[in-house]
Structure 1
Amino acid sequence: GIQTDRRHAKARIVGLTPARIERELAAGRVVVVAGFQGIGDEMEVTTLGRGGSDTTAVAIAVALKAHSCEIFTDVRGIYTADPRFVPSARLLPRIAYPEMLELASAGARVMHPRAVEIAEAFSMELHVRSSFHAGPGTIICSEEAIMEDRNRVRGIAHEEHVARLSVVGVPDRPGIAAAIFAPLAEADIAADVIVQTASHEGVTDMSFTVSSADGRQAEQILNGVAKEIGARTVLSQNELAKVSVVGSGIRGQPGVAATMFRALSDRRINIEMISTSEVRITCIIEADRVKDAVAALHEAFKL
């Protein structure tokens, strides 16, 4: 069976016992497994939420010690950008786990981040293919298998429906960040693109993004936190979007950030916030400019 934690509608797989699947396969039967549900520690039925079927498929492949896991979906594979925004976007024949994880986390919805995390942890090769069209699709594999594509931008990801929250006038003392983010974590609200201003006269401002769906609840939580820690106020802004360039090792490559910022500037797209990782540079922009931004970046990096 599939064991999960208790977070109904957002449950995570914590264990998988494949004995019955193995028994049925040994008997020559085709096994069909519900890909979006499991059992909690008190035997209650839980659902995994978006991407649950992908995650279940990868977990089963790992448990059965399969050579690879094939994901059939409604697109032909992983593209250099969303083809709805960039009709000339290319299908990537291969992409590394870290790149795919960042693309998925940054808004590319072909694969769920949790499925990619499990695949990378157990070196499970993934094949993403179309259910409706013949073709090789995209192979998600280790970085070593695609060394020739390191240190360059591989794709552009975007995420709409982003909200920014700012806690203004935060006392600059140890433990304040934990006081702000711990209640959000307890409410299962993920914070992203965190920016803290330089301290001035013992106070600072802290801004971060959340999904627009979580924005109102997050603001309510932060209003209570602000009173407890002595912050001045909480500000919120909706109708934002996130656009990211992704590629293994790009943070250490001179010119990637400059090219990104110049491309957005040339389209007169204002950057609200910036975040970087080893394989991703993300900008927060106005939501109504996201299509222009994706197209501009795809062209700037010659994808």
Structure 2
Amino acid sequence: MTDPASPHEERTFAALRPRLFSIAYRMLGIRADAEDVVQDAWLRWHGSEPAALQSAEAWLVTVTTRLAIDRLRTRKAERETYIGWWLPEPLVELDERTPESAAELASEVSVAFMWVLERLSPEERAAFLMRQVFDHDYADIAAMLNKSEASCRQMVHRAQARVQQERPRFDVPKDTHRELLAKFMQAAGNGDRAAMKAMMSDRVQLVADGGGKVNSFLHMLHGAGRVAGVYWSLEHQFPSQVVYRPALINGELGLLRYVAGKIESAQSFVVNEGRIVAVFIMRNPDKLTNVPQLI
């Protein structure tokens, strides 16, 4: 039988838990998987001799990263048979001031960013995140991954090139993003197809994740007319039953959509030069269980 944890062990782990969760979530994209990894890290931490460790944070970050890599390797095989596009489970907050939407989740956790990370191998993803998001040096990363520093540098370089190629970064003021989404939410709620189309780039793309559980697009949609038409058709299919609500989705302002009083999707938007250039719609009901219901 395992001895109970000391108050010092519990305090130390509790202080590091948000960071460990943010690592695991960025690696896995599913809240339950991330929480399982953090719990496994706790069990290993408790089963070790914490007092003998030189750095509790370094030890726990390393264990969490390795556990996440192992789990992602398993999940990768499952995702190859996933029906349609795979998007992360959204982290939804209704209040911008909540701690979860602050420091740990405000940096590089957007749906668009997570979408690109799916193209990386588990070890590339870990090396890239540790270096570019969590600012670890290459010696630390090499120790975490049991690889040479040169190998880690190469992995990070390849991953960085791919991320920059597939996800151009747009620096948009929060107020601009908020105002555009407020107008879009009103237009979508009114089924105003022309107004929605005017707010989108001609090359806008839409990616939807239904996971085979609900009807969804198996191919990426392109073009303002087609994307605006998706919103218009839903409003006309369920007149006066579609409600939009603003929310923080993975640290960025997005929309929750309810149909007949039930959560239907969480939606993330990429904005550039005053227009919507990408829409990510998470419809798989398994990924919406933690989304607040309409009040």
Give the TM-score, by structure 2 length.
0.27
Greater percentage in helix? 2
Give the TM-score, by structure 1 length.
0.26
